[in-house]
Structure 1
Amino acid sequence: MEMKNNHSFLVLFLCFSLGTNLSIGEDTISMNESVSSGQTIISSSGTFELGFFTPGNSFKYYLGIWYKNISSQTVVWVANRETPVSDAAHLTIIQGNLVLLDKFQSLVWSTNISRSVPPKNLVIAVLCDDGNLILSDLSSNSSIPLLLWQSFDYPTHAFLPGGKVGYDKRTQRKQVLISWKDLNDPSPGLFSMELDPRRAQLVIKWNRTTQYWASSSWNGRTFSSVPGMRLNYIFNYSYIDNENESYFTYSLYNSEIPSKFIMDVSGQIKQLLWSTSLDDWYPFWAQPTEQCDVYANCGAFGVCNNVNSSCNCLSGFKARSDAEWNSNNYSSGCVRVRDQEVQCNGITEDKDSFWMNSIVSLPASQDTNITVAEASQCRSACFNNCSCTAYTYDVSGACSFWTGDLFNLQQLSKTETEKTIFVKSGSPEDQTKAKKSMKLVVLLSSTTAFIVLFIGSFSYIYYRRRRRRMTKGTGTQISHLDKIGGGEIIDVPYFCLETILVATDNFSNANKLGQGGFGPVYKGIFPGGKEIAVKRLSSHSGQGIDEFKNEVTLIAKLQHRNLVRLLGYCINGKEQILLYEYMPNKSLDTFIFDGELCKLLDWKKRYDIILGIGRGLAYLHHDSRLRIIHRDLKTSNILLDEDMNPKIADFGLARIVEGRRTEAKTEKIVGTYGYMSPEYASDGLFSLKSDVFSFGVVILEMISGRKNTGFYQSEEALNLLGYAWRMWIEERAMQLTEKSLLESCNRSEVMKCINVALLCVQEDSNDRPKMSDVIVMLVGEGTSLQRPNRPAFVIRTHASSRPSSPSKVSNNQVTITEEGGR
């Protein structure tokens, strides 16, 4: 599209007055210009783009704004949500308004500015670098261009940093986020979020009427019911309340990170960040946290399962739309199996066959409450009321009725008290058929029960005998480990495989968190909505039953805030599974080696993480009941909880050393290249100082944002340790610091950490400090530190990050890498 540069000065002035960056050209629509299908305008920084798009597999066209440089098209604003157009439509300026016209020149959408703008006035539309589309009159008598309209005042399903959701006290107009209908249809969906100005809180509604979530009032820093907001080292949230308006807004401390706040089709509000390494949006937080807490998540007469957020229909009902349910869209709900409404006027006799009972959580908002003496009176009252759909009764005499469709039914967990609801079933015709066939049903039921009992007994006996033969043939094919060698009882809960399969949706890829050398890790949602990390050990990983027992027994005896907590285990046939506390922020390497996510960890947070790892390691070496050498400390084995606190994980390779011993020897050298000490790699000698070496490598990687196995100073092909040593002896150590840290870092702390790290990676293990001394060095103020000796760094001639077989090497040319490491 051809763009003009007239009135450049005025437009630039307008941008500055609105607090946005703007350049004239491809970001502007002037009068007598238009945008048609295949044409776009782009903000001056190249961040946002406006044009026509077709969502998913749709052939319908919508006018929208999206992030330009993100691989998966991310639309943040849509003009014609309810009225899609053909590819012949175009956007232009007419009589001071932005208008969208279809191929017949009929009006589809407009900014609908009521004030008249003289036709001679110069009106332009500009797409700004913050994603805001503004319409301004540059011909106003004032020296400041007159703002006529901006898209930030009319958000659709999302709002960006600098946007707002609020209430205008002068016009009584609210800004409301409304979800898409589904992922391929931007028309208004069932869920919306708005501000409740009286209580200074955000609320989410279903169908614009039924409120099912509230954020609680603003406490001066955050909304108290949104714990994710407390992690405010990334976002700066604000709530403004003055005589003209009340509104909620936010910004990022690092504005270069793509972000969005959306009312999602799932019924949850979500704060998202773009991750370059994941090539996907990273969910920072979501509310409600449980999908089943979303109102009508499974539609009418649907039952939500909190374990895997799936939906089922009540007994006697079926999905209204199989196609929608197969695509995980359950909002259409369920209908009676015979698709007949209850005609209660035609029913004169109350029989058991007329009722279906289900043990579920009770639906939202009962319509009638009465007190009766016994359950039969409650049932009779509902039966004689044609509007009554269902009833429930408890021992206190409380009788509750529901009319119309039932929503918000949830499957109860085993720990919840049973609550039975009785729902009216089919029509009188169904009842008559049931009555006539009752005798036949009784006869067939008796016969069937006998056959099922016989087959079941035979199958059970056959299975038990076959199971005993399997257990006899192989030592690992056992149902679970009651005791470890020597009769030691495992003080860790045992989980049935079936429970784990349900929690992980049969180890579906959608729940996969990552892949390690010992096998994949999945997110599992267990009864009560508890999130647990499930590590499924691969049969090809090299970790056998001994390593599995080792990890279970070790972690069961360890209690420290910087060690990951083992919640359970399972051994069933060839399956070996460990269940850990779920870490929402995954592992440390996810952040420090990612070009975008690394900006989320400022120096203070990294320093805290370094201290946390050090304290966890010191506990293993000196303070726990057992003296433990981890042997596989690395950034991918450091997990981060929701507050970014570090927790050391993966103890499959860890070893206990008895009494006062601090070292041991092995013929089987395992670990991860770049983190193994030279004496372990060359001679199989591991000690507490082996972990100290690994800790030093982790510190340098955290400061530099670089992997130890990379190449620096290409003429000598130094790894990170070699490069760090070169910078140290040349007194240029600060050049190691990652660029994103330079503004936030405390120079003396950085230099102290580099010094400590180099002390930890010294070539001679006897020169390395103990972890207890390392902690003193890190937390001490004004402590005079030793100068380090030469580290065990590597000068290499080729790079390889792939695993290799163990081999003997010299101290300064380590080439060992992991054998079954994770």
Structure 2
Amino acid sequence: MGRPLTRLRLLSIWLLVLFLLTALAVADAQVSPVLPPLPSPFPPLQDLPSPLSSSARSPSPAAMLIVVQTRHHHYHKELTIAVVVASVAVLAIILSAFFVWFFWRRSRHMLNSKDMESSGAGGGLPFGPILSKLNSFKITSKKGLLPTVDYESIETATNKFSEGNILGEGGFSHVYKASFHGDVSAAVKKLDGSGQDRDREFDNEIDLLGKIRHPNIVSLLGYCVRGETRILVYELMQNGSLETQLHGPSHGSALTWYIRMKIALDIARGLEYLHEHCNPPVIHRDIKSSNILLDSDFNAKIADFGLAVIGRNHNKGGLKLSGTLGYVAPEYILDGKLTEKSDVYAFGVVLLELLMGRKPVEKMTPSQCQSIVTWAMPQLTDRSKLPNIVDPAIQNTMDLKHLYQVAAVAVLCVQQEPSYRPLITDVLHSLIPLVPIELGGTLRVVEPIPVINQKSPDH
């Protein structure tokens, strides 16, 4: 990107110098020979008659009129020349600005078409490296700049979709780890079955993620359609999903208090982009821990936009009721009303998972389940009980004031009444002071960050 910008700057400087030199040349050509020396209205002293008469002591009225008219004509010419020079200079600046803008737009368009990539810290895998490794790809006008990927390349990269390459699975899909030419890794989602719902989610994913570029939203690198088969190719997130980290074999042991707060902050940033910076706004509609993916540095990114909708205030009847039990906002279940506050509710549930290490819905008996919201609410507002329900993996590793603040944010997010829930922007600003500067917040940590599950010297 540096070379095109350097060439652009040199071009703009060259144009400015050229136009200014032209303006100066025009000015010099017109100013230097403007007027010959003005003839004096008085004869030389030696030509004066020796006996000075009264009429010779002062110029005549006719001579004075000639002087005034000559000087007026001189000033008029100077003013005209000044206006011409100024006009040429202004025109030069306008033309230079136009050429700079034109070449900047052209350069930017060429760069975007070559290597679209995520911006900011923790940005996703750029298109360039992976596409150069694929056997064939092409840009289609239907999906803008999103490439189609050759099916045979995907089949080879996933070892023919072998079970050993499975990273995870969902309701309509399996996700495989893919290695293109042995050195470029990606995640391949193969959508199972057929039908309108599957095709709608596939198209939705392409239409939205083909346009969105944000550090906290997973990057879609390409797609493949072959007969009834639908495949999506994403950047690989090395640490899997938040659900696997919290509820899998490690039971959250890799997630310290500060990393959990960083993950919460990353999710809030991604949601704020969708709610506040996309026009029209995007409602994800399926925020949950399995749709929060973590890269090698535990940067969190929102994934799976198959159920996402565009615009605000979707009422009952306009959309098919969809979502995941435990994360769906009560007003959406009861009345079918969907707004950005529905995503805020789901975010609050994820925040409770990060705090307590519990699943959003747990079985009490074979026929009875209890949600994390119902179970935690009475204890979240009791400061004496709150430290006891924190995930054992992070107990006693955080400042209690910070714990109370995060619990208060979670309580607000999972309020039954949508109007009582905060905007995601307010949540974002509440979390920033709780995350260390090194992890993307503003907190200055004086003491060393506690290391969880650290064995004592006696063991």
- TM (norm. structure 2) is 0.61
Partner of 2:379: 727
Larger relative contact order (CA 8 Å, sep ≥ 6):
2
Pick one of 608, 621, 628 that aligns with 2:262. 608
Are residue 752 (structure 1) and residue 405 (structure 2) matched?
Answer: yes
Give the alignment of 1:530-545 within 5 angstroms.
530-539=184-193, 543-545=197-199
Distance change >3 Å, CA 597–CA 711, structure 1 → 2: closer
Give the alignment of 1:621-660 within 5 angstroms.
621-657=275-311
Partner of 1:765: 418
Are residue 527 (structure 1) and residue 177 (structure 2) matched?
Answer: no
Partner of 1:515: 169
What is the Cα deviation at residue 547 of structure 1?
2.2
Are residue 565 (structure 1) and residue 184 (structure 2) matched?
Answer: no
8 A Cα contact 2:165 2:176, kept in partner: yes
SS at match of 1:599: coil
Q: Which runs of 5 or more structure 1 residues have no equivalent in the other structure? A: 1-306, 308-411, 416-478, 782-822
Deviation per residue, 1:573-612 (Å, 9 max, x gap): 0010000000111100111113534111110111111111
Give the alignment of 1:74-473 within 5 angstroms.
none
SS at match of 1:514: strand
- Alpha-carbon distance in 2 for matches of 1:555, 1:590: 23
Partner of 2:333: 681
8 A Cα contact 1:562 1:645, kept in partner: yes
Deviation per residue, 1:380-415 (Å, 9 max, x gap): xxxxxxxxxxxxxxxxxxxxxxxxxxxxxxxx9679
Pick one of 655, 663, 668 that aligns with 2:320. 668
Q: Which runs of 5 or more structure 2 residues have no equivalent in the other structure? A: 1-129, 435-459
- Alpha-carbon distance in 2 for matches of 1:540, 1:601: 38
SS at match of 2:212: coil
What is the Cα deviation at residue 717 of structure 1?
6.4
What is the Cα deviation at residue 780 of structure 1?
4.5
- Alpha-carbon distance in 2 for matches of 1:532, 1:517: 21
Deviation per residue, 1:452-485 (Å, 9 max, x gap): xxxxxxxxxxxxxxxxxxxxxxxxxxx999455x
2:323 is aligned with what amino acid?
G
8 A Cα contact 2:178 2:185, kept in partner: yes
Distance change >3 Å, CA 595–CA 536, structure 1 → 2: closer
Partner of 1:708: 360
SS at match of 2:253: helix
- Alpha-carbon distance in 2 for matches of 1:656, 1:675: 20
What is the Cα deviation at residue 643 of structure 1?
0.6
Deviation per residue, 1:531-552 (Å, 9 max, x gap): 0100000115863323211110
SS at match of 2:361: coil
8 A Cα contact 1:518 1:543, kept in partner: no
Partner of 1:209: none
What is the Cα deviation at residue 734 of structure 1?
2.2
Pick one of 223, 226, 230 that aligns with 1:576. 230
- Alpha-carbon distance in 2 for matches of 1:753, 1:568: 38
Distance change >3 Å, CA 542–CA 520, structure 1 → 2: farther
SS at match of 1:739: coil
Distance change >3 Å, CA 669–CA 481, structure 1 → 2: farther
Pick one of 428, 437, 453 that aligns with 1:775. 428
Deviation per residue, 1:50-103 (Å, 9 max, x gap): xxxxxxxxxxxxxxxxxxxxxxxxxxxxxxxxxxxxxxxxxxxxxxxxxxxxxx
**Aligned residues: percent identity?**
39
Partner of 1:551: 205
8 A Cα contact 2:134 2:150, kept in partner: no
8 A Cα contact 1:480 1:571, kept in partner: no
- Alpha-carbon distance in 1 for matches of 2:420, 2:208: 29
2:252 is aligned with what amino acid?
C
- Alpha-carbon distance in 2 for matches of 1:480, 1:530: 19
Q: Compute the RMSD of aligned alpha carbons.
A: 2.7
**Hey, which of these two has a bigger chunk of strand by percent?**
1
- Alpha-carbon distance in 1 for matches of 2:249, 2:178: 29
What is the Cα deviation at residue 674 of structure 1?
0.4
- Alpha-carbon distance in 2 for matches of 1:780, 1:604: 11
Pick one of 608, 619, 636 that aligns with 2:273. 619
What is the Cα deviation at residue 502 of structure 1?
1.1
Partner of 1:180: none
Pick one of 148, 151, 157 that aligns with 1:494. 148
- Alpha-carbon distance in 1 for matches of 2:403, 2:189: 35
What is the Cα deviation at residue 527 of structure 1?
3.3
1:493 is aligned with what amino acid?
P
Partner of 2:390: 737
What is the Cα deviation at residue 508 of structure 1?
1.0
SS at match of 2:362: coil
Number of equivalences? 300
SS at match of 1:543: helix
SS at match of 1:534: strand
Distance change >3 Å, CA 480–CA 631, structure 1 → 2: farther
8 A Cα contact 1:631 1:671, kept in partner: yes
Deviation per residue, 1:489-513 (Å, 9 max, x gap): 4321110111111111111112111
Deviation per residue, 1:207-247 (Å, 9 max, x gap): xxxxxxxxxxxxxxxxxxxxxxxxxxxxxxxxxxxxxxxxx
Distance change >3 Å, CA 717–CA 642, structure 1 → 2: closer
- Alpha-carbon distance in 1 for matches of 2:134, 2:403: 51
SS at match of 2:234: strand
Distance change >3 Å, CA 615–CA 558, structure 1 → 2: same
| Higher radius of gyration, 1 or 2 | 2
